[in-house]
Structure 1
Amino acid sequence: MKVAIYSQFQKKKPLASLEVLLEVLEKENFDVFIEETFFKNISSKIKKTLNTFSSLDSSYDFLISIGGDGTILRAVTLVRDLDIPMVGINTGRLGFLATIQHDEIEDAIKSIIENDYKISERTLLSISVSEPNEEIESCNFALNEIAVSRKNTTSMITVETELDGEYLTSYWSDGLIISTPTGSTGYSLSCGGPVITPKAASFVLTPIAPHNLSARPLVIEDSITIKLKVDGREKQHLVSLDSRIATLSNKTEITIKKAPFSIKMIALHNETFLDTLRKKLLWGEDKRN
């Protein structure tokens, strides 16, 4: 089997997990390729000669991310629409996407070899804008969320919002988050949005610090096309796609809809989304119980 390894950071935790992972993969005769920037940062420490990659193709059987959920979001920009299954070793904090712990690496790889896992298909968002923008056009999709927010000001912005061509409202706020079910446990959740199970065919619109107290998160079908226009005191605003940020001029028309491809996440059979919720959000963790 041919496997790609990706990580962002040169820290002790990812390095320790990488060493264990390489040992297990070599024992099982995997063809291992490490993302070249990551390898440059750690090559002097692991003292091994390994194959590297700068971009992926469909010949890879799966990709392993070492880090937190942010690392997986970066890895998604490499996988794109290649249909390569992904799995994450968690060396971060929460880890809704990166669910394999350091001491579970060997068992996880054995489960993958034995096909003892299931695939969780994750919906993505795509974005297009009415004015040319290289940052957006080069990577116009997001796994967690697309958000518009204010730039260079403490003043609120107005986000005029249409759903399938029908006017919804103009959010007077610090911004607006459009989240997938996968992203519902991220930025949207911290702004008061609901948790959505991964298989739900839904998106959620969550305003960021709205001045209208009646403005509440709205769950919509994922077949709906969303159009946004931003106005405010500044001439520009920010658009973020997961962890990537672009600057747009006000009045630019933003179109957001379901992406034409999905991301495959490897889920081991001892993992469920509900179990992850209990562990990561500490649901039921009350000393009285």
Structure 2
Amino acid sequence: MAEDVTVGIVAQRDNERAHRLAATLVDALERQFAVAVAVDELTGEAIDVDAIPVAEMEGRDLVASIGGDGTLLFVAREIGSTPLVGVNLGEVGFLNAVHPDDARAVVTDLVETLTAGESLTHRDLRRLQASGEAADWTLEPALNEILVHGPRRGPGSGVTAEIRVDGERYTASHADGVLVSTPTGSSAYNLSEGGPLVRPAADALVITQMAATDPLPPLVVDTDTEVTLSLSGPNHGYVISDGRNRRRLELPATVSVAPADEPVWLVGPEPNFFAGLEKLG
């Protein structure tokens, strides 16, 4: 039997339902198993149990995210390749596969596997990383997409963006920006910009221009492809990872987008991709 199994639980902030479920999971795990359970700091204040920063959950045997896909994205950024299971309190749930009513059974089954000394079966979700041409900066990895754009979006703004795929020019055009998306992110920002849906298991990336004056159809490429985005026109622009980590670019500048070293490890039942699509309608 494995010893010193550690579990983290992160609940969506300001969500009483998420906090109640976190308290239920803490109680169930501490009653049934000799494991160390800690919640995130805001949840700890709400339910009065041991709490640690989410970033300190990296390296635990299991972390449970309770909330929507946004909560899981936040947790994934903080914990690297720590096994992660998502409990869905959101509307769609492309990443969170566990229904709240099933959360206790699913999480306790996962912990029972760990306490028996067995490894959890996981699915790798590839992430992307943006860096400067001279490698003097690197953004935090993105599970959904890397975005580059000009000072702002809309008429009279934008940026000239040349896109190269493994060194070969794909296109160049004035545009609001360019998205490079993972299959996970294909149903997010990429979809709203007219990009294609990609089934999560596909080994692919999507390159999508945003409101280009000379557009080409979105391009699907192999996951290991290196994409370079050369920006010019205005005096500055931005590169953004998953809508959160942002860096200002003094133009002209070139951004390289390539697979990150560490994927996200999802455990537990697989989300139903097509059921999630029905909720988008």
TM-score range, shorter-chain basis?
A: 0.7 to 0.9
> What's the offset of the Cα at 1:172?
2.5
1:39-78 equivalent positions in 2, closer than 5 A: 39=43, 43=45, 45-46=46-47, 48-53=48-53, 55-56=55-56, 59-78=59-78
1:34 to 23, 39, 45: 39
| Counterpart residue number, 2:116 | none
> What's the offset of the Cα at 1:3?
0.7
Which residue identity does 1:84 align to in structure 2? T
Check conservation: 2:57, 2:63, Cα contact below 8 A.
Answer: no
Map Cα deviations across residues 200-248 of structure 1 (whole Å, 9 max, x no partner): 2211101122333x5211000112111111123x322121101312221
Paired with 1:142 and 1:153, the residues of 2 have a C-alpha distance of: 21
Check conservation: 2:151, 2:158, Cα contact below 8 A.
Answer: no
| Counterpart residue number, 2:111 | 113
Corresponding residue SS for 1:141: coil
Which residue identity does 2:66 align to in structure 1? I
**Change in CA separation of 1:229 and 1:59 when aligned onto 2, cut-off 3 Å:** closer
**Change in CA separation of 1:171 and 1:8 when aligned onto 2, cut-off 3 Å:** farther
| Counterpart residue number, 1:20 | 24
Corresponding residue SS for 1:94: coil
> What's the offset of the Cα at 1:167?
1.4
Paired with 1:204 and 1:256, the residues of 2 have a C-alpha distance of: 12
| Bigger mean CA offset, 200-209 vs 149-158 | 149-158
Paired with 2:90 and 2:54, the residues of 1 have a C-alpha distance of: 24
| Counterpart residue number, 1:91 | 89
Corresponding residue SS for 1:142: coil
Check conservation: 2:59, 2:79, Cα contact below 8 A.
Answer: no
TM-score by length of 2: 0.85
What is the identity percentage for the equivalent residue pairs of Structure 1 and Structure 2?
Answer: 28
Corresponding residue SS for 1:261: coil
1:117-196 equivalent positions in 2, closer than 5 A: 118-130=121-133, 137=138, 139-152=139-152, 154=154, 155-196=157-198
Map Cα deviations across residues 96-147 of structure 1 (whole Å, 9 max, x no partner): 11222221111211331344974111111111114787xx64x531111101
TM-score by length of 1: 0.83
Check conservation: 1:174, 1:210, Cα contact below 8 A.
Answer: yes
Which residue identity does 2:178 align to in structure 1? L
| Counterpart residue number, 2:249 | 248
Paired with 1:171 and 1:95, the residues of 2 have a C-alpha distance of: 35
> What's the offset of the Cα at 1:177?
0.7
Map Cα deviations across residues 6-60 of structure 1 (whole Å, 9 max, x no partner): 2451222322322222222222233112233x24xx51x32x3314245336651
Paired with 2:27 and 2:61, the residues of 1 have a C-alpha distance of: 18
Which residue identity does 1:105 align to in structure 2? A
Corresponding residue SS for 1:237: strand
Paired with 2:121 and 2:199, the residues of 1 have a C-alpha distance of: 16
Which residue identity does 1:278 align to in structure 2? F
> What's the offset of the Cα at 1:178?
0.2
1:103 to 74, 79, 101: 101
Paired with 2:57 and 2:276, the residues of 1 have a C-alpha distance of: 33
Check conservation: 1:229, 1:250, Cα contact below 8 A.
Answer: no
> What's the offset of the Cα at 1:254?
0.5
| Counterpart residue number, 2:237 | 237
> What's the offset of the Cα at 1:257?
0.7
> What's the offset of the Cα at 1:159?
1.1
Corresponding residue SS for 1:253: strand
Paired with 1:211 and 1:90, the residues of 2 have a C-alpha distance of: 39
- Unaligned segments of structure 1, at least 5 residues: none
Check conservation: 2:29, 2:108, Cα contact below 8 A.
Answer: no
Paired with 1:117 and 1:261, the residues of 2 have a C-alpha distance of: 17
Which residue identity does 1:102 align to in structure 2? P
